Structure 1
Amino acid sequence: MTMRVEHHPVLGSLENKQPFTFYFNGETYEGYEGDSIASALLAAGVRTLRQHEASGTGRGIYCNIGHCFECRVQLEDRKVVRACLTPVKEGMVIHSVPGYKKGGE
Structure 2
Amino acid sequence: MKTDSNFLRLDNASQAASREVRFFWEGQEISARQGDTIAAALLAAGISHTRETPVSQSARAPFCMMGSCFECRVEVDGEHNVQACMRPVESGLNVRRQRS
TM-score normalised per structure 1: 0.80
Counterpart of 2:74 in structure 1 is 73
| Corresponding letter in the other structure for 1:17 | S
Counterpart of 2:87 in structure 1 is 86
Residue 6 of structure 1 deviates from its aligned partner by 5.3
Gaps of 5+ in 1: 100-105
2 CA distance for matches of 1:44 and 1:14?
A: 14
Q: C-alpha root-mean-square deviation of aligned residues, in Å?
A: 2.0
- Consecutive aligned runs of 4 or more in structure 1 exceeding 4 Å deviation: 1-4
Please show how residues 5-84 of structure 1 align to structure 2 within 5 Å: 5=9, 7=11, 13-84=14-85
SS of the residue 2:79 aligns to: coil
Contact 1:6 1:14 in 2 (8 A): no
Task: Figure out how many residues of one structure are paired with residues of the other and give that number.
Answer: 95
1 CA distance for matches of 2:25 and 2:11?
A: 25
1 CA distance for matches of 2:32 and 2:42?
A: 8
